[in-house]
Amino acid sequence: MKLQQFDSEIAWADQIARRWCERLQANPRLRLCLPAGHTPVRVFAAMAKFVAQGQVSFREAEVFTLDEYGGLPAGDLGRCAQQLRRGLIDQIDLPPERFYFFDPGAENLEAECRRYDRAIGRGFDLTLLGVGLNGHLGMNEPGTPTDATTHRVTLHGTTVAAAREYLTHEQVPTWGVTVGLKHLLTAKEVWLLACGAGKAEIIQRTLKGEITPDVPASLLRTHPNSFLFLDAAAAGLPAEPV
């Protein structure tokens, strides 16, 4: 895993977006798997700006939602697909048919998971991931088998607690659907994104601890083309003097 570290969250987001632009310019048909949540918000905003400026286009790309909460109405603002729409998809020129997302309310959830696997097909060119406080990737919680494809998962307590921060009501989901570790670990390129002091401890475990499914993020150290993008706080560095 190659480490890329930046002095501030603003520089962190800007440089990730610029590198993302380079990947899209080199391969306009890039197949992407993208996360929701707080971590990529600044990155998405910077990327949307580059699209608006005409520096890059998503017209030929494909975007797959990394995961989705179960038990929430289709239009709920807390749904991962809805977060992605607000933060990025509605701001760029991606054709609607090139945006893939889950239907966790499907009558046959197993069939829905297999549908998503078929859509993923040959895999992802670039996957962007956040990291949970327990080391999860997507909703692949600690202990998830490395050969897992798209599947239903019961969310750990820390994941449920984190979800409360951006859901619009008191009810929080206890389960979800996620792209499996097999798809993530076989992507051509994987970027793990972390910012803020709250992620410093799990980043140290990811970088220096045992490589184990009990800390799914640590498995990216075995990937031949993975990058870890950190701001100073997530790296555990002291704040710059004002």
The residues carrying an active-site annotation are 67, 134, 136, 141
Dig out the tokens for 160 from the structure: 């449920």
In the block, tokens 């800390």 appear at 215
Q: What are the two backbone dihedrals, phi and then psi, of residue 67, each rounded to the nearest 5 degrees?
A: -155, 175
Burial class (CB in 10 A: 0-12, 13-18, 19+), 241: exposed
d(CA 134, CA 122) in angstroms, rounded, equals: 29
Dihedral of CA atoms 117, 119, 125, 128 in degrees, nearest 10, equals -70
CB 46 within 8 A of CB 14: yes
Longest dimension (CA), the chain: 55
Angle, nearest 10°, between helix axes 41-52 and 9-26?
50
Dig out the tokens for 14 from the structure: 């800007």
CB 142 within 8 A of CB 135: yes
